[in-house]
C-alpha cells in the first residue's frame, strides 16, 4: 500500500502521528503499529515520513473501528519512502480529497460541543479528512500555551486544537510563535487553503460526562507553497 503523506502531527515528546491518501483509491490511511510511532520515523531522523512524501507501507492490515476506520497496521521494518511529489501534484491530491463541509468528512454524528466539535465513541464515518474552510482561519496561542484555530465550514464554527508538527519547535511542545504569525499572514494573503483535519483518539475532558473524539486541525496547506516539509 502506497500513501502520500498529508497529515503529520506532534504527540507527546518522542512520538508522532502520520496519515496519508491511499494512491490506489483516494481514501485516507493512518498507519498504526504496536505502541505509538516514534520520531525516528521522521525523514529528518532517517525515517520515511515527511509532508508530500510517497511512502510504501508494504502489506498493511485493516485495524480500524468507527470512527477510526482509517487505521491500518504496518510493519515499520518494511516501509520505505519512494519519492516526494511536486507541489502541483500534491495540491491535486489534496483537492481531490477535500470537501467544504465537516459533515461530509465525518458524518451526521458530528456535533458542536463547548467551543469544539465531537463525535461519540463508536460513531462517525471516518476520523481523517481535508476541509476547504469557508472563511480565512485564524491561528492563536491561548493562555495555556496551546496552539488553536478558529475556523468555519458555514455550519460549524469551532475553535480547535492544532497539532501540526511544523508549528512547534524541535521539542514538539513549544509553539513557534514567529512561524505561527507568518502562517497567519500567509493565510490572509493566499488564494486557497486546505486543512487536514481529524478526530483525536477518544478522550474524556476533565469535567465532561464521557469520552469523545474531538475535532482537531492536523495540518495547514497553502496553495502558494503546497509542500512545506520539516527539513
User: pLDDT tens digits for 86-103?
Assistant: 999 999 999 999 999 999
The reported pTM is 0.97
pLDDT of 231: 63
User: Is residue 141 pLDDT above 70, yes or no?
Assistant: yes
The domains found in the chain, sorted by start residue, are 2-88 (2.40.50), 98-222 (no CATH)
pLDDT of 125 > 90? The answer is yes
**Average pLDDT along the chain:** 96
Does the pLDDT value for residue 121 go beyond 70?
Answer: yes
125 vs 171, which has greater pLDDT?
Answer: 125
What is the structure's pLDDT at 191? 82
pLDDT at 38 (0 to 100): 97
pLDDT for the residue 186: 96
pLDDT in tens, 175-208: 999 999 999 999 999 889 999 999 999 999 999 9
Contact criterion met (CB below 8 Å) for 138 and 150: yes
- Cα 225 to Cα 131: distance, rounded to the nearest angstrom: 17
> How many other CB atoms sit within 10 Å of the CB of residue 173?
11
Mean pLDDT in residue range 145-150: 97
What's the average model confidence in pLDDT over 148-154? Answer: 98
Q: Kindly tell me if the per-residue pLDDT of 47 is higher than 90.
A: yes
Amino acid at each position: 500500500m502506497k500513501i502520500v503523506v498529508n497529515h503529520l502531527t506532534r504527540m507527546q515528546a518522542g512520538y508522532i502521528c502520520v496519515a496519508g491518501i491511499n494512491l490506489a483509491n483516494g481514501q485516507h490511511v493512518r498507519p498504526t503499529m504496536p505502541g505509538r510511532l516514534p520520531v525516528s520515523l521522521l525523514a529528518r531522523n532517517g525515517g520515511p515520513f515527511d509532508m508530500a512524501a510517497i511512502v510504501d507501507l508494504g502489506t498493511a492490515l485493516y485495524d480500524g473501528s468507527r470512527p477510526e476506520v482509517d487505521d491500518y497496521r504496518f510493519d515499520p521494518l518494511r516501509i520505505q519512502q519512494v519519492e516526494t511529489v511536486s507541489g502541483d501534484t500534491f495540491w491535486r491530491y489534496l483537492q481531490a480529497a477535500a470537501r467544504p463541509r465537516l459533515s461530509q468528512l465525518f458524518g451526521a454524528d458530528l456535533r458542536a460541543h463547548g467551543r469544539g466539535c465531537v463525535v461519540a465513541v463508536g460513531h462517525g464515518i471516518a476520523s481523517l479528512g481535508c476541509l476547504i474552510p469557508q472563511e480565512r482561519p485564524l491561528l492563536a496561542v491561548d493562555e495555556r500555551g496551546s496552539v488553536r484555530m478558529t475556523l468555519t465550514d458555514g455550519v460549524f464554527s469551532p475553535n480547535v486544537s492544532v497539532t501540526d508538527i511544523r508549528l512547534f519547535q524541535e521539542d514538539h511542545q513549544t509553539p513557534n510563535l514567529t512561524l505561527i504569525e507568518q502562517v497567519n499572514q500567509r493565510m490572509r494573503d493566499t488564494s486557497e487553503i486546505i486543512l487536514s483535519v481529524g478526530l483525536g483518539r477518544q478522550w474524556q475532558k476533565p469535567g465532561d460526562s464521557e469520552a469523545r473524539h474531538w475535532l482537531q486541525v492536523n495540518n495547514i496547506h497553502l496553495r502558494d507553497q503546497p509542500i512545506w516539509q520539516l527539513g
